[in-house]
């Protein structure tokens, strides 16, 4: 029987192979394999073989992290290299409020659990605190002769977490089979609090969670967690060598928050529902309505880490060994700290100009948006502290986007298609898809000119060829009505025309002038550097523009850098408030250097559909063929797509 090719194995193939094997045997040579009962038996054998082969293939896939599909298996494989997938995370809000009451308690304690109810998009969400919070409650006015004087407890910058606090108790029985598994999914693992009480004791000792056993001794009060079936979590305690071992009869009290994840974000209208108690432990009643002031709306909530993210991050965390040293270490760790990171760029201070030794500069592109909020920056920097080396400072800078704009002329055969709008739409769609690829739309991304041209040619069989012009653009965000200097790095060398017009911008105004002005360049004789000039175009066509400031900055064509001297911008002609500055690349293959995030801007690109009169047979000799220049326009100002 011939050996089956498992890459092409299917039911009909197996069936035919069984028949071929039986026909080769003289005992079964004369059988009718199509109409006899033998056909049924062959079908059963083929079906059984097919199912066995399919199961074997699926089992083999589930044994490798890259090919596993079931979450339980992916989590198990990640566990083998020391990675615990990120749990759901509660949205966090910060609130202030005053609790007024009449009584003799010198302090007020908010018991852990439900504190406030927040509203967001016509839906109410509960917000809890994982620990008790106690503040003093002095008498209003400083003194009083009343038996139950009025008092006010001022709660400030209280962090509340979206979700419901749940408690779970275990008693250690010494069995080797005993497991400490939390009953609920949707757990925020950062909210887990563990207290262990010795048999007969009234107070418990708090245990701390660790991610690895470095610096853990046999007496350390620690626990670890791991995800198990159905997105639940199991707690693991020490064995006496790594971590303190639990004794028979010990009571374990576990509290944690179950959360709605990202659905709890944006809550900001809160009402009080907490349980305040006096210093004697008795409930307190407010003497009026408790008004909640929202300091920070609920944010930071996220869902449990998806399978694709586990496959990507787990090997990188393993390679970093939980320390931030190399750029790859930072990329993996930041992705685990901040799940909304789409792409991360890390540049050592020694690579900066001028160098900043002992500094790591980080840029992060969030999935939904362009810039990180201050809250997200603080969250990332705080999370990096336990991984970073002493003496190394991290600094997160705003994203620098290098936009690429295309001017495409697609030549089409009119005998194969006459729908120019349809062709234009197809070209736009394939370029948009290319622009979303991780090879391009990322830090360190690369625009491959030949690949982009091939993509356009393959958009439709009617497209015979195309001419593609590439333009680089940076958006300058001026500080209006203030004197400032600016630096724009493109990370790619500029193409130099000795006559200038290599640098172009959209219009802007400066302080004490109503004229709309533009930037352009004046190359030096070496064609490696030049001056940045401010000009005012003439209102008469064909007339040279007026140079207002001949030396408003410098241009380094080799490095792809523009330096703008001190200037006071007052207005931009664009409603977005930015000033768009473009340059033509020396090479049509563009890279996102260092902290530049490469992005293909289809909205400002031009797609032109041109008749190919030679391919269509209209002009066989080529006379009158519409030739498109491969070089860009000679306009002095930036022409918007």
Q: Residue 262 to residues 87, 89, 269: CA-CA distances in angstroms?
A: 12, 8, 17
Tokens encoding 269: 């209208």
Rounded Cα gap, residues 25 and 294, in angstroms: 85
Lowest mean pLDDT among 9-18, 86-95, 239-248, 587-596: 9-18
Percent of the chain past pLDDT 70, that is, above it, reads: 94
Q: How far apart are CA 362 and CA 346, in angstroms?
A: 5
List, for residues 435-448, the tens digit of each pLDDT value: 887 677 777 788 99
Paired tokens of 232: 């639940």
Report the pLDDT averaged over residues 479-506: 90
- How high is the pLDDT of residue 6? 44
Give the pairing type, strands 292-299 and 113-120.
Answer: unpaired
Q: How far apart are the first and last CA of the chain?
A: 65
Q: Taking residues 16-29, report their average pLDDT.
A: 74
- Per-residue buried b or exposed e for 582-599, using 16+ beta carbons within 10 Å of the residue's own CB: bbbbeebebbbbbbbbbb
Nearest of 371, 364, 299, 307 to residue 333 by alpha carbon = 364
Q: What is the pLDDT of residue 3?
A: 46
DSSP, collapsed to helix, strand or coil, labels residue 61 as helix
24-61 residue pLDDT tens: 777 766 666 676 677 778 788 888 888 888 888 888 88
Contact by Cβ (8 Å): 311, 74: yes
**In the chain, % of residues over pLDDT 90:** 44
- pLDDT higher than threshold 60 for residue 631: yes
Average pLDDT, the chain: 86
Higher pLDDT, 633 or 335: 335
pLDDT score of 222: 94
pTM of the predicted model as reported, rounded to 2 decimal places: 0.65
Q: What is the pLDDT of residue 206?
A: 93
């Amino acid at each position: 029987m011939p050996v089956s090719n498992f890459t092409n194995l299917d039911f009909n193939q197996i069936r035919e192979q069984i028949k071929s094997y039986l026909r080769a045997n003289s005992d079964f040579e004369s059988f009718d394999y199509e109409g006899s009962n033998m056909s049924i038996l062959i079908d059963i054998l083929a079906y059984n073989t097919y199912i066995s082969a399919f199961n074997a293939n699926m089992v083999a896939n589930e044994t490798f992290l890259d090919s596993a599909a079931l979450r339980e298996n992916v989590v198990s494989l990640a566990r083998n290299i020391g990675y615990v997938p990120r749990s759901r995370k509660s949205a966090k809000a910060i609130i202030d409020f005053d609790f007024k009451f009449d009584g003799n308690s010198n302090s007020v304690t908010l018991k852990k659990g439900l504190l406030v109810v927040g509203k967001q998009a016509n839906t109410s969400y509960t917000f809890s605190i994982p620990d008790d919070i106690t503040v003093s409650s002095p008498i209003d006015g400083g003194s009083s002769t009343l038996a139950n004087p009025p008092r006010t407890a001022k709660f400030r910058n209280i962090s509340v977490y979206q979700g419901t606090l749940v408690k779970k108790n275990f008693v250690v029985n010494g069995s080797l089979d005993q497991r400490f598994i939390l009953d609920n999914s949707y757990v925020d693992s950062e909210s887990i609090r563990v207290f262990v009480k010795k048999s007969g004791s009234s107070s418990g000792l708090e245990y701390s969670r660790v991610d690895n056993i470095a610096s853990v001794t046999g007496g350390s009060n620690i626990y670890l967690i791991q995800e198990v079936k159905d997105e639940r979590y199991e707690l693991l305690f020490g064995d006496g060598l790594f971590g303190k071992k639990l004794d028979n009869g010990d009571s374990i009290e576990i509290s944690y928050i179950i959360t709605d994840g990202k659905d709890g974000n944006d809550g900001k209208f809160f009402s009080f529902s907490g349980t305040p108690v006096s210093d004697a432990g008795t409930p307190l009643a407010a003497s009026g309505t408790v008004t909640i002031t929202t300091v920070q709306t609920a944010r930071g909530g996220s869902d449990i880490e998806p399978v694709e993210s586990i496959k990507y991050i787990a090997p990188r965390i393993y390679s970093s060994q939980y320390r931030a040293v190399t750029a790859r270490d930072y990329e993996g760790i930041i992705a685990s700290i901040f799940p909304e990171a789409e792409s991360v760029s890390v540049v050592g201070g020694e690579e900066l100009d001028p160098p900043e030794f002992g500094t790591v500069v980080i840029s992060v592109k969030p999935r939904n948006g362009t810039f990180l909020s201050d809250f997200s920056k603080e969250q990332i920097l705080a999370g990096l502290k336990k991984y970073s080396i002493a003496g190394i400072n991290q600094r997160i800078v705003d994203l620098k986007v290098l936009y690429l704009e295309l001017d495409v002329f697609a030549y089409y055969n009119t005998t194969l298609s006459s729908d120019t709008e349809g062709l234009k739409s197809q070209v736009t769609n394939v370029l948009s898809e290319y622009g979303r690829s991780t090879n391009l739309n990322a830090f360190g991304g690369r625009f491959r000119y030949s690949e982009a041209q091939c993509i356009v040619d393959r958009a439709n069989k009617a497209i015979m060829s195309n001419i593609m012009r590439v333009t680089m653009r940076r958006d300058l965000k001026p500080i209006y009505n203030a004197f400032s200097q600016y630096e724009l790095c493109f990370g790619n060398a500029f193409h130099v025309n000795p006559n200038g017009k290599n640098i172009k911008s959209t219009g802007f105004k400066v302080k004490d002038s109503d004229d709309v002005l533009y930037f352009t360049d004046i190359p030096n004789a070496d064609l490696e550097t030049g001056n940045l000039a401010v000009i005012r175009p003439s209102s008469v066509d064909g007339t040279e523009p007026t140079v207002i400031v001949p030396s408003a900055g410098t241009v380094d064509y080799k490095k792809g850098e523009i330096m703008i001297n001190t200037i006071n911008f007052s207005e931009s002609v664009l409603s977005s408030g930015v000033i768009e500055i473009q340059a033509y690349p020396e090479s049509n293959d563009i890279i996102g250097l260092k902290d530049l995030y490469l992005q293909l801007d289809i909205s400002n690109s031009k797609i032109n559909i041109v008749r190919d009169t030679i391919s269509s047979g209209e002009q066989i000799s080529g006379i009158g063929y519409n030739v498109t220049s491969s070089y860009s326009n000679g306009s002095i100002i930036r022409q918007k797509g």
